[in-house]
Amino acid sequence: MTRTMYEKIWDANLVHEPEAGSPLLFVDRHLMHEVTSPQAFEGLRLQNRKVRNVHSILGTIDHCVPTKDRFNIVDVIAKKQVETMTANCEENEINLYGMDSNQNGVIHIVVPEHGFVHPGMVVCCGDSHTATHGAFGALAFGIGTSEVEHVMATQTLQQKKAKTMLVKVEGKLPAFSTAKDIALAIIAKTGTAGGTGYVMEFAGNTITDLTMEGRMTLCNMAIEAGARAGLVAPDQVTFDYLEGKEFAPKGDEWPVAVEYWKSLVSDQGATFDAVIELKAEDIAPQVSWGTSPEQVISVTGVVPSPSDFTNEVKSQACANALKYMALEPGQKITDIHIDVVFIGSCTNGRIEDFRAAAELLKGKKVADGVQAFAVPGSFPVKVQAEKEGLDKIFVDAGWEWRDPGCSMCLAMNGDELEDGQRSASTSNRNFEGRQGKGGRTHLVSPAMAAAASVAGHFVDIRDWK
Amino acid sequence: MQPYIKHTSIAALMDRSNVDTDQIIPKNFMKKVERTGFGINLFHNWRYLADNITPNPEFELNKPAFKGAKILVAGENFGCGSSREHAPWAIADYGFNTIISTSFADIFFSNCFKNSILPVVVTDEQLASLMAEISANEGVEFTVDLEAQKVTTPGGLSISFEVDAFRKESLLDGLDDIAWTLKHEEQISAYEAAQRKRLPWLWPSA
């Protein structure tokens, strides 16, 4: 019997499958942040239950952290959340890269930096962008707070087996197109519910050509296609990234681990419940125009009209989005002017992202009236970027160079759009109000965001000087 | 957890698709460390005018006819986006215990069952009929019977729905998930012992 990678990981982590009830899946790694965990700790206390495997948990504080004057959290409720996280981790002896740690940053950036996730693991976190870690060939998905409590108490989850979808991307990406553009192009094709009930495996030579950073960006957005998780088969790129990292297997265990990881890839001829294919050549730099990550088009395109959609629901969604976004059908994407530019988040807050943006910003200046800020995903990313002199390029171009955090991806920390402001953002969601009530978000890659900051509107970076 | 009991209640209509959890409970209201008190900010950005206090008369749930509704009938892909359980907490705290739609996002769907909320999946045609009946008679009461897996309406609709047997039982009895799982302590311990041998690098050295 041939099996897909998802099925192999499922089988390896299946603790028990009772005749009546739910299968129990073993959780190898549990990631934590301050927003979705306090009620879970409280639940444990009320029931007098203990954290089962403390070593399986790694925590950080990221959602509420100011990116300027970071210790000065003015919002008292947010401050309490940060203090509660710190106290809960201390009480339970959980490894926390807290506010005062030089390893602090966005959970999905920090965890890979330490080699905490390996191929074949089941990884969960009270955060939908846990999907990021599928880049390592780990089954990684977001859970609710009740499940956070369940994992702490039992090290398992009650899970139903998902269907499998193969997303195959072949060919060479056009210049300046990135993993972010692949992700957006896939979501444009599947829709935000297209992946519901599925685990997506990304395959094809375009995917294997991606760096680990690129694979993380891609898997990060699997949730935006509705998928429970995204997966990329582990290969030499994965092994090279992991080798030597703090939590990676060492010494004699390393080759044993690598052999095991190699055995996890989908078997030749394994069947998937659904298959979709994309040609890399077709993926130009993408820009979202609406209020859902599926409302995306190439930078060369125009804003669609509700009448372009035969599906009534999508047509209505288009009309609603255009109203909220204050856009007209037929408007060229490159004519859309922006007020704020944000580079950062668990989608695009890695060193590669800042390098790509800096490349375009060298010797340039931010357009009049545009506010631009760069938020590295973690302190290690920030330190590395500064070592390479990237911070100077940003600052010289008129950008703000901030401290790490989730920042304006979800705008919980005070970094937010004002009513009616329009952003070019490297984050993952363009929902109404996501970046501030009345704020209008366009999702793009870091290079597209950088160019937009200089031009004041979107540009096709392929022929931009 | 509260057991889910058969009930007849007002069904509120939300004719929107892709209602995401950022709309259900915007992030500025997620900073609490308790599970309670989120209802007042359910759908905040749609529900209130710019002063953040005055109810927006154009928002559907503010219609007097929907006051006290326990059933929410909404468009496809309900609950997409962020995994925040604050969304079902807000929905339950507001007073809903049933959501009817053609599809739900995975994490939200699972979170509902942890909070005594029943998500009911119906077909496109069934949803259209339910929505039409509410539109024609705002304030109409539907009956949801989980035991019989049926939604019935005064207009004569009788819609059977599927629900996972285990989840149904948990909802009906108000079961504690963790207690159920811990009944399998023996299997979990055996798994851990085997994994320590198979993948020793995942465990702290003894």
Averaged pLDDT, A36-65? 96
Half-sphere exposure of B175 (CA within 13 A, CB side): 17
Spatial separation of the C-alpha atoms in residues A42 and A49, rounded to whole Å: 10
Please indicate if any CB of chain A lies within 8 Å of the CB of B45: yes
Q: Is the pLDDT of residue A250 over 70?
A: yes
Spatial separation of the C-alpha atoms in residues B131 and A192, rounded to whole Å: 23
Q: In chain B, which residue's Cα lies nearest the Cα of A432?
A: B23
Convert the pLDDT of each residue in A300-336 to its tens digit: 999 999 999 999 999 999 999 999 999 999 999 999 9
Q: How many CB pairs under 8 A join A and B?
A: 174
Convert the pLDDT of each residue in A333-371 to its tens digit: 999 999 999 999 999 999 999 999 999 999 999 999 999
Half-sphere exposure of A426 (CA within 13 A, CB side): 37
Q: What is the ipTM of this complex?
A: 0.95
Q: Which of A383, A399, A402 is nearest to A102 (CA)?
A: A383
Convert the pLDDT of each residue in B156-190 to its tens digit: 999 999 999 999 999 999 988 999 999 999 999 99
Q: Is the pLDDT of residue B206 over 80?
A: no
What is the residue type of A430? N
Convert the pLDDT of each residue in A129-161 to its tens digit: 999 999 999 999 999 999 999 999 999 999 999
Residue A274 pLDDT grade (very low, low, confident, very high; cuts 50, 70, 90): very high
Q: A45: which chain B residues are within 8 Å (Cβ-Cβ)?
A: none
Spatial separation of the C-alpha atoms in residues A458 and A299, rounded to whole Å: 8
Q: In chain B, which residue's Cα lies nearest the Cα of A115?
A: B202
Q: Angle at which helices A379-387 and A351-361 pack, to 10 degrees?
A: 40
Q: What is the pLDDT of residue B205?
A: 82
Q: In chain B, which residue's Cα lies nearest the Cα of A437?
A: B45
Place of tokens 């920090």: A110
Spatial separation of the C-alpha atoms in residues A419 and A408, rounded to whole Å: 14
Residue A20 pLDDT grade (very low, low, confident, very high; cuts 50, 70, 90): confident
Which alpha helices (H) appear in A155-263, and where do they start and end? 179-190, 205-208, 212-220, 236-242, 253-262
Could you give the C-alpha distances from A213 to A29, A69, A202, A375, in angstroms and in order?
Answer: 20, 28, 15, 16
Could you give the C-alpha distances from A286 to A74, A249, A325, A443, B81, in angstroms and in order?
Answer: 37, 38, 17, 8, 20
Residue A222 pLDDT grade (very low, low, confident, very high; cuts 50, 70, 90): very high
Averaged pLDDT, A404-422? 96
Convert the pLDDT of each residue in A42-56 to its tens digit: 999 999 999 999 999
Q: Which residues contact A403 (CB under 8 A, 6 or more apart)?
A: A65, A66, A67, A68, A70, A375, A376, A379, A382
Residue B2 pLDDT grade (very low, low, confident, very high; cuts 50, 70, 90): confident
Convert the pLDDT of each residue in B148-157 to its tens digit: 999 999 999 9
Convert the pLDDT of each residue in A200-216 to its tens digit: 999 999 999 999 999 99
Spatial separation of the C-alpha atoms in residues A304 and A408, rounded to whole Å: 27
Best of B53, B106, B195 to substitute, by most chain A Cβ atoms within 10 angstroms, is B106
Spatial separation of the C-alpha atoms in residues A341 and A96, rounded to whole Å: 31
Place of tokens 């089962």: A52
DSSP A366: P
Of B32, B45, B114, the CB nearest to A144: B114
Q: Is the pLDDT of residue B37 over 70?
A: yes
Spatial separation of the C-alpha atoms in residues A152 and A43, rounded to whole Å: 10
Flag if B31 and A16 touch (Cβ within 8 Å): no
Averaged pLDDT, A169-188? 97
Q: What is the pLDDT of residue A46?
A: 93
Convert the pLDDT of each residue in B62-115 to its tens digit: 999 999 999 999 999 999 999 999 999 999 999 999 999 999 999 999 999 999
Averaged pLDDT, B16-40? 93
Q: Which residues contact A314 (CB under 8 A, 6 or more apart)?
A: none
Flag if A16 and B82 touch (Cβ within 8 Å): no
